[in-house]
Structure 1
């Protein structure tokens, strides 16, 4: 009986996490918080349902399956079941890299003995377009260590077109002519002159929760059921306030991005560090009804793009207007110099 009650609680939480992104976190925070755990709750529901089926408890198993069926659309975005594809016209393909580069620092090698591994990855990835977050001035040696000599020369030679001012931490590197249209709080708008036409590109870095290391430790302990009672008391205080503030600020900026996207006709990419997961309120607001998700349409299984503090979430996104382009694949780099993994995508331009 107890196991059934626990299973039903799991099923309810899975439904709430699947549809939590439809509720504005400015008013109610819990659904948004649950959406962070959607892939894990969905997988747990599938495993528990299978266990009940094997145990011969058909009704409980059927309820679990019904939950997954009802939540399939959001679940399939967080846990896609697709594969990469080949282009119809190879000559009309381009690669786009999005990377929260953490100012070029190296969390695994603080003394940078191996040189600047983050920018070496950017160079080796050989993307046509590179959208960077957490980079104020690529020419500032105080901000970006060990970007020098051959590496610097090769990078600037490969990407002769660059855009972004020192007023924000968003920059783009391009093999094609690029023009900064406008910088907004947490996102920037560019136009790229591609060989086949004009591409509008929004590079974004939405607000984080701004948790301290001690607050992150508390959240990890709650998740691991270690010191849970004390952790929950703390979460009702400063942590809860920061979570609500983070969700609310992202919701506000997501609405601004969506407003800009609605004013843009033609090919469009919105990429960067959303600091939020697929099917979250911010994600759904930005995606609207006209943008595809490059990862969800070309990949298999859940994705983790953040690698610190035990917060294993898919925070970096690549959305695009799919009537003009086709997503072919998205690959996550394994480099952990930054607290975010780089994402390298490939598209085929199908606009006439």
Structure 2
């Protein structure tokens, strides 16, 4: 009787797992509840592995069922928990053009006093670290550029000058707003390779959540296209999320409102990623993608990208690879993706750089 019950539970878990995988492929704008079902995927994956272990100890023939399911769904497991403990960066003399890429949501370089109250030097330190990074290409989300206050003051340089011109990088800034003092908000791509073409993609209206791309001419003559994009923000305060799961009272007070806001974000991101996927399909060049997805690895947005591109962390990383610098654990919303023409040699989350609420990520790619 016990084995019969356990077998039924195993079948239920497998069914749950398959439904969750299918749900991740349904855009929220079509049927938003599917996106919430997809978020349960890591639990279903874990329970299936537990079922496989249980049946290995009880009945190896039955164990074959959850084991086969685990093998077939392993790429989905890797999305949230990558396992490459023996990976090491390959030698630099391997054939193929190597490209070093840095991506970071810099939170407007903490320009407002409340953002750098705990560390007044963080704006300067962040810009200095990025400028000194050996990356060939730098993609920044939530970028801010404050121009020189005076052309006579040689010691006060803008972020564009410090990260770009001073380091020999060409600059493409996609501006969404210019304030009263001339400060520019938006996103930016910096490149040691010549920028031969550039463009901006807005989602309905141009805002901080948009996309930009640059075509870069590599030394060997190849042209590659780099996309930098920032999808719809979750519009949820970290404190509200923590309060919602800290107590029953917090869940009652905050839960419903958080779900409504999260749903609106899911719908917007599903539209935005579909817009971008159509643009990716039209690219005549090998693609590299940098993104603040504002979405988890078990979302429709991530699923669409992972079905067509290599996620750098899932390909060579080990662990969760969390990129959110805050009180919410295990949250990876910043990602880099590469087209099939690339080999991912290395990927790193820079936990030592905690100036923003996002940790920077860097990767090394090699063109096949």
Q: TM-score range by the shorter chain?
A: 0.7 to 0.9
Q: C-alpha distance in 1, partners of 2:129/2:43? A: 30
Which stretches in structure 2 are left out of the alignment for 5+ residues? 150-154, 177-184, 204-209
Taking the aligned partners of 2:11 and 2:324, their CA distance within structure 1 comes to: 30
Structure having greater relative contact order (Cα 8 Å, sep ≥ 6)? 1
2:74 counterpart of 1:72: yes
Larger radius of gyration: 2
Deviation at 1:43, TM superposition (A): 4.0
- Name the counterpart of 1:201: 226
Matched, 1:188 2:231: no
For residue 100 of structure 1, report the CA deviation from its aligned partner.
0.6
Aligned counterparts of 2:62 and 2:35: Cα–Cα separation in 1: 27
Corresponding residue number in structure 2 for 1:99: 104
| Pairs within 5 Å for 1:80-119 | 80-82=82-84, 83-86=87-90, 89=94, 92-105=97-110, 110-113=118-121, 116-119=124-127
Partners in 2 of 1:264 and 1:67 — Cα distance?
Answer: 35
Please point out which of 307, 320, 325 is paired with 2:325.
307
Equivalent position of 1:123 in the other structure? 131
Report what 2:251 is aligned to.
231
Deviation at 1:69, TM superposition (A): 3.6
Pairwise CA RMSD: 3.5
Match of 2:356 in 1: 338
TM-score, normalization by structure 2:
0.77
- Conserved in 1, the CA contact under 8 Å of 2:233 and 2:294? yes
Distance, in Å, in 1 between the alignment partners of 2:303 and 2:287 is: 16
Match in the other structure for 2:299? 280
Residue of 337, 340, 344 corresponding to 1:327: 344
Contact 2:213 2:227 in 1 (8 A): yes
Higher strand share: 2
**Within 1, Cα distance between the matches of 2:324 and 2:22?**
23
User: 2:181 is matched with which residue?
Assistant: none
Gaps of 5+ in 1: 142-146
What is the number of equivalent residue pairs in this alignment? 335
Match of residue 33 from structure 1: 36
- 1:267 is the counterpart of 2:286: yes
